[in-house]
Each structure stands twice: as structure tokens, then as C-alpha cells.
Amino acid sequence: MSLKEKFTSISPAEFFKRNPELAGFSNPARAMYQSVRELVENALDATDVHEILPSIKVIIDIDNQEKQIYKITVEDNGIGIPPHVVPDAFGRVLYSSKYVLRQTRGMYGLGVKAAVLYSQMYQEKPIEIVTSPVGSKRIYVFKLKIDVTKNEPIIYERSSISNEKNFHGTSATLYLLGDWQRSKSRIYDYIKRTYIVAPYAEFYFKDPEGNVVFYPRLTNKIPKPPEEVKPHPYGVDIELLKNMISRMKPTYVIKDFLVNQFQSVGEITAQKVLEMAKIDPNKKISSLTDDELSRLTEAMKKFEDFRPPSADALSVIGSDLIELSLKKIFNPEFVGALTRKPKAYQGHPFIVEVGIAYGGQIQPSSEPLVLRYANKIPLIYDEKSDVIWKVVEEVDWKRYGVEGDQIPLVVMVHLCSTKVPYKSAGKESIAEVEEIEKEIKYGIMEVARNLRLFISQKKKEEETKKRMLTYLKYIPEVARSLSVFLADGKKADADKHSQELKTKLFEIVAKKLDLKDLEEYKLYKVEEL
Ligand SMILES: Nc1ncnc2c1ncn2[C@@H]1O[C@H](COP(=O)(O)OP(=O)(O)OP(=O)(O)O)[C@@H](O)[C@H]1O
């Protein structure tokens, strides 16, 4: 037995090739779903974040029936990709344009590369990218794979053609070992739920069985795009400080550095923080010792008077769009939505939005249908381990008037943040961060109160209607008896009195019951009641 270990290091590409499940590629069905997701999310980030109304095409074909190899193409009308970055964007793990403080669907610089790695593990065709940046006179075509050991792209083909029609956007085609039957419902769900929060987008989807679904654009109103922001002092650590300092002029003095490079720090605040950290405000950043950096980090965390992190980096969906979509998709009786005020956790700003739909054509079920979203991405898998599910499950829906074993209830929650605390790189569930959990709870309670009002109003109306219908049965009889009494045996008078009395009695009862819509009842025929 040897007591010696052999040490080596591996590249990030090798790491994710060895552990594909960490990025959501645990089996052919999940891999197929995840690949569609990564491509669609990149397509949306390339459009709505840049105020382009998205037109997105997703086409899945079977490429080799026997081996179950599928061809997945996603095409967008986004900003396109400059040709010199295409190889790295698709062929170098942890290469991204999204490592900035701004809300985007992408975060890790991994998604599409994880799909390429999985793709090349079970079949030989490279990924094909066709792209043209906005205003470009050429359309660029690339075919590439990833050199797993070196974590760099291997380019098989690079060419370009003239861009006659001013096309801008990107089309990416991947071949991969998949399982359509087992991923079908999730992929359909994913596209539909993506559309629910992006009704300003249009989606064309063709599945490998040849079925086509088209989701039309419902509105041209596109939510305000997120802006890039500076870091907030509550979010710093020693490494972040060192990293920022290494990219600055060495002669920069620490006070100016704090004021100019962070949000929520003015001259006076900087002065106070530096006093707390016992650092000379005029000291050059390049000469700060490790000990001083550590004291500074602590002071920044402890200082209580910073303004909260700016929400400019966030882009909400908005309550009107949420309501519009829930109405259109579920055709409910009640719909309500709200966007909460910005809050922060660990220096990261976040906003929670909630939408509730109830009744109408919603399919009743023993549990509410929970639609979870993070930075506009629908989360489909791992529902039960998500903080949103936990909060919805803890709500006592009976308190809000939702009763019965089968309830027609949809609860949608959207969390947007510059840093969504996902539980894994596959981005399927959100961790339990106390501040976020609270916001979700308050958001749901607020909309649910309107639902309670609606339900109790509806109940009252139903009860009133029942009572009215009961009175309607007696009115003709009472009117007839009274009219005979008033008419002293004259038949013509009796008929006249009866008619007048009926109208009068109807009015008295309706007034007493505070009925608004009388026309409905006038149409009832007593014999039918
Ligand atoms: N359709 C597209 N249009 C424009 N740029 C794209 C497109 N697809 C990919 N990119 C660029 O390639 C980069 C890498 O994409 P990738 O999916 O690997 O990671 P990401 O989206 O940055 O993060 P994540 O791993 O969280 O998805 C993106 O940051 C983006 O700049």
C-alpha cells in the first residue's frame, strides 16, 4: 500500500466536464432542458437588457434517432457578439460579459460552455454560431469545441458573409444526447413560463415531433433595463478591496477611492469610516497594509449610516405586466400583483414581486401552482428546496378565504437581484436568506389580502343572490293575493294591481338587499325557479 498521494490540477473546463450535474447536466433529459435554458437566457439577455423587443426562435430536431442525438437551435434578434470574442464566449469556461453589478439572467460565465462540454462528450459535431453585432456589415460564422485540458476554444471553422439585410443577433446550434420524451413537459413549461414574465417578447418553438407553438408579443412596453452600478460598502471583503485597488492608479488616496469607487459614500461618510478604521484619509491606496485593509473592511461592514444599495441595477417586471400575463395565460376571476420596495442583503440590492391569480379557468389542485422566478428566469426543477416554495407552503390560505381540498390558485414570485443566492450553478433553487424570505412573505400577504377582499365580496354577492332568488319566488304570489284584495273582485283591476305590486315589491327587496345589477333578476321567470 502506498501512502503517497499524487497531486495534479485540472482546468475549469475539466472540472465541469467531470461534474456536469453541478451545472444542471445530470442526465440526457435534464441536459436537454438545461441547454435550451442556457441558450434562451443568453438570447433574452442580448435583447431586453438592451431595450430590444425580443423575437426568439427555438427549434429542436432529431439528428440521429438511433443514438438519440438532437439538434437544438436558438436564434435571437439581440445585440450580437463581436467576432473576436465569440471563441472565448462559447469555448472558455468562466468567460462572460456579465461579471458586472447589473441584473442579468447570466451570472457565472458557464452556462453555454457547460452545454458545449456536455454536447461534445457523447457526439462529435461542434457548436455552430452565426452572429452579427448591431450595425455590422458582416455576419460571422463559427464552429468550435472546447479543449478541455487547456480550457480554450478549438476553432473548426471561421468565416463571414455580407450582411445584406442589416441582421443583428445570434443563432447558436448545439448537437447533444437528449431524451425528448422525458424533458418535453419541462421544456414546454419553461418556454411558457418565460413568456409569462416577458409578454413583450415573441417566441416561436418547434419541437422534434414537428409541433409548433407561437407565443405572440402582448405589449411593446419593455421594462426599464438595469444599469451597471458600483459596489456597495456592505458587500465588500478584503479580496474585493485588493482586487479593486490593483486596477487603480497607485497614487489614488483612500478617501477619494471610497467616494468615487463605491455607491452610497460621500465625503463625510468616507471621513467617518476612515476614522473608525483608524486610517489616514490621505494615505495612498497602494501603500495600505493587510492590517489596514482588514480594519477598513470591518469598518465598512459596521458603519450604520450608508444609504441602502441602489436599485438602479435591477429591472423589475412590474405589476401591470405580471397581471396582464397571468390574466392572459390562466383566465382567472381574480388577479393581483405588486412590486415591493428595494431591499438589500449582504450589500446586494434585491426586489421581490408577487402575482396571485385565483378562480376562473385555473385548474384546481391540492396545492397552489407556484411559479418561481429569479432575474426573470423561471425555475422549474428542485421546487421543494426553494425558499419561495417554503414561504408559499407556510401561508394559511384559509385565512385569505381560499377553502377546499382543491384550490384554483396560482402564486407567482419574482426575485431580482445583482446576486441571486442560487443553491447551485444549475440555477434551479434559491437559498434561504432571511431578508429575502421576509420580503416574499410580506409580498404574498399583501396581495393575498386583496384576494381575501375579492373572495368575501364574491361570497356576499352569492348569498345576496340566493336570498333574492328566494324572494322572487314569493313576490308573484304575494302580489296576486294583495291585488285580489285590492280589486274587490274586478278582474281587470286585479291584473293591473298585481303588475304594479310585483314591480314595487321587487324594488323594495332589491333596495333592502342592496342589489346593484337588477336587470339580471328581471329576466328570471318564477316558474323556472
Ligand atoms: N445569444 C447571445 N447574444 C449575445 N451574447 C451572447 C449570446 N450567447 C452568449 N453570449 C455571450 O457569451 C457570454 C458567455 O455566455 P454563458 O452562457 O457561458 O455565460 P453567462 O450567460 O455569462 O453566465 P451563466 O453561466 O450564468 O449563464 C455571455 O456573457 C455573453 O456575453
Looking at residue 481, its pLDDT comes to 85
Among 4-8, 48-52, 425-429, the range of highest mean pLDDT: 48-52
* pLDDT above 60 (res 442): yes
- ipTM for the predicted complex: 0.99
* CA of residue 111 to ligand 1 center, whole Å: 7
The sign of the dihedral angle between the CA atoms of 90, 208, 215, 183 is negative
- Return all residues near 334 (Cβ < 8 A) that are at least 6 apart: 356, 357, 358, 359, 360, 450, 451, 454, 455
* CA of residue 273 to ligand 1 center, whole Å: 38
* CA of residue 503 to ligand 1 center, whole Å: 71
Query: Which atom in ligand 1 lies closest to the alpha carbon of residue 172?
Result: 1
Distance CA 219, CA 216 (A): 9
Helix (H, G, I), strand (E, B) or coil at 254: helix
Ligand 1, atom 31, residue with closest C-alpha: 97
* CA of residue 283 to ligand 1 center, whole Å: 40
Query: What band does 528 get if pLDDT is binned at 50, 70 and 90?
Result: very low
Query: What band does 340 get if pLDDT is binned at 50, 70 and 90?
Result: very high
Query: Which atom in ligand 1 lies closest to the alpha carbon of residue 43?
Result: 1
Ligand 1, atom 5, residue with closest C-alpha: 81
Question: How is 411-435 classified by DSSP, letter by letter?
Answer: EEEEEEESS--BSSTT---B---HH
Looking at residue 524, its pLDDT comes to 61
Q: What are the residue ranges of CATH 1.10.8.50 in the chain? A: 233-302
Element (H, E) at 352: strand 348-358
Helix axes 254-261, 238-246, angle to 10 degrees: 100
In degrees rounded to 5, what are phi and psi of residue 205?
Answer: -130, 125
Give a three-class secondary structure readout of 430-462. Answer: ECCCHHHHHHHHHHHHHHHHHHHHHHHHHHHHH
* CA of residue 357 to ligand 1 center, whole Å: 33
Q: What is the pTM of this model?
A: 0.86
* pLDDT above 60 (res 326): yes
* CA of residue 25 to ligand 1 center, whole Å: 17
Compute CA 366 distance to the chain's CA centroid, rounded to the nearest angstrom: 24
Distance CA 41, CA 491 (A): 80
* pLDDT above 80 (res 72): yes
List pLDDT tens digits, range 287-315: 999 999 999 999 998 998 888 888 899 99
The answer on whether 42 is annotated among ligand-binding residues is yes
Residue 471 backbone class (left: φ over 0; alpha: ψ -120 to 50; beta: rest): alpha
Ligand 1, atom 11, residue with closest C-alpha: 89
Residue 24 backbone class (left: φ over 0; alpha: ψ -120 to 50; beta: rest): left
Pairing of strands 55-64, 202-206: parallel
343 touches 308 (CB < 8 A)? yes
Counting Cα atoms < 13 Å in the Cβ hemisphere of 78 gives 26
The answer on whether 229 is annotated among ligand-binding residues is no
The yes/no answer on whether domain 233-302 falls in CATH 3.40.47.10 is no
The yes/no answer on whether domain 311-448 falls in CATH 3.30.230.10 is yes
Query: What band does 467 get if pLDDT is binned at 50, 70 and 90?
Result: confident
Looking at residue 523, its pLDDT comes to 63
Query: Which atom in ligand 1 lies closest to the alpha carbon of residue 113?
Result: 18
Looking at residue 480, its pLDDT comes to 82
Looking at residue 235, its pLDDT comes to 85
List pLDDT tens digits, range 227-256: 999 999 988 899 999 999 999 998 899 999
Q: What are the residue ranges of CATH 3.30.565.10 in the chain? A: 12-215
* pLDDT above 50 (res 529): no
Query: What band does 522 get if pLDDT is binned at 50, 70 and 90?
Result: low
C-alpha cell at 365: 389542485
The yes/no answer on whether domain 12-215 falls in CATH 3.40.190.10 is no
C-alpha cell at 254: 483612500
Looking at residue 479, its pLDDT comes to 83
The answer on whether 112 is annotated among ligand-binding residues is yes
List pLDDT tens digits, range 159-193: 999 999 999 999 999 999 999 999 999 999 999 99
Looking at residue 525, its pLDDT comes to 55
Query: What band does 478 get if pLDDT is binned at 50, 70 and 90?
Result: confident
The answer on whether 109 is annotated among ligand-binding residues is yes
304 touches 329 (CB < 8 A)? no
Looking at residue 474, its pLDDT comes to 83
Ligand 1 pocket test, pick from 16, 76, 96, 144 with the greatest ligand atom count within 8 Å of Cβ, gives 96
Pairing of strands 409-417, 369-374: parallel
Q: What are the residue ranges of CATH 3.30.230.10 in the chain? A: 311-448
The sign of the dihedral angle between the CA atoms of 444, 447, 450, 456 is negative
* pLDDT above 70 (res 419): yes
Ligand 1 pocket test, pick from 40, 42, 94 with the greatest ligand atom count within 8 Å of Cβ, gives 42
Pocket of ligand 1 (CB under 6 A): 38, 42-43, 46, 76, 78-79, 81, 89, 96-98, 106-113, 170
User: What average pLDDT score do residues 62-89 get?
Assistant: 98
Ligand 1 pocket test, pick from 57, 74, 75, 112 with the greatest ligand atom count within 8 Å of Cβ, gives 112
Which residues in 343-362 are b (16+ Cβ under 10 Å) and which e? Answer: bbbebbbbbbbbbbbbbeeb
Which residues in 290-321 are b (16+ Cβ under 10 Å) and which e? Answer: eebbebbbebbeebeebeebbbbbbbbbbbeb
User: What average pLDDT score do residues 452-461 get?
Assistant: 93
* pLDDT above 90 (res 124): yes
Looking at residue 84, its pLDDT comes to 97
Looking at residue 330, its pLDDT comes to 94
Q: Supply the DSSP symbol for 284.
A: B
Looking at residue 495, its pLDDT comes to 80
- Looking at 56-60, 157-161, 400-404, 509-513, which range is the least confident one? 509-513
The answer on whether 97 is annotated among ligand-binding residues is yes
480 touches 473 (CB < 8 A)? no
Burial (CB < 10 A; 0-12, 13-18, 19+), residue 149, is: exposed
Ligand 1, atom 9, residue with closest C-alpha: 42
The answer on whether 111 is annotated among ligand-binding residues is yes
270 touches 283 (CB < 8 A)? no
The answer on whether 347 is annotated among ligand-binding residues is no
* CA of residue 96 to ligand 1 center, whole Å: 6
CA proximity to 451, closest of 372, 397, 413? 397
The sign of the dihedral angle between the CA atoms of 19, 23, 26, 28 is negative
Looking at residue 462, its pLDDT comes to 86
- Return all residues near 215 (Cβ < 8 A) that are at least 6 apart: 191, 192, 195, 201, 202, 203, 204, 205
Q: How many CB atoms lie within 10 A of CB 485?
A: 10
33 touches 379 (CB < 8 A)? no
The three-point CA angle 212-214-220 to 5° equals: 165
In degrees rounded to 5, what are phi and psi of residue 326?
Answer: -60, -40
Looking at residue 411, its pLDDT comes to 97
Choose between 506 and 181: higher pLDDT.
Answer: 181
Ligand 1, atom 1, residue with closest C-alpha: 43
Compute CA 373 distance to the chain's CA centroid, rounded to the nearest angstrom: 3
Pairing of strands 334-339, 127-132: unpaired
Query: What band does 360 get if pLDDT is binned at 50, 70 and 90?
Result: very high
User: What average pLDDT score do residues 186-207 get?
Assistant: 95
Query: What band does 475 get if pLDDT is binned at 50, 70 and 90?
Result: confident
User: What average pLDDT score do residues 318-341 get?
Assistant: 94
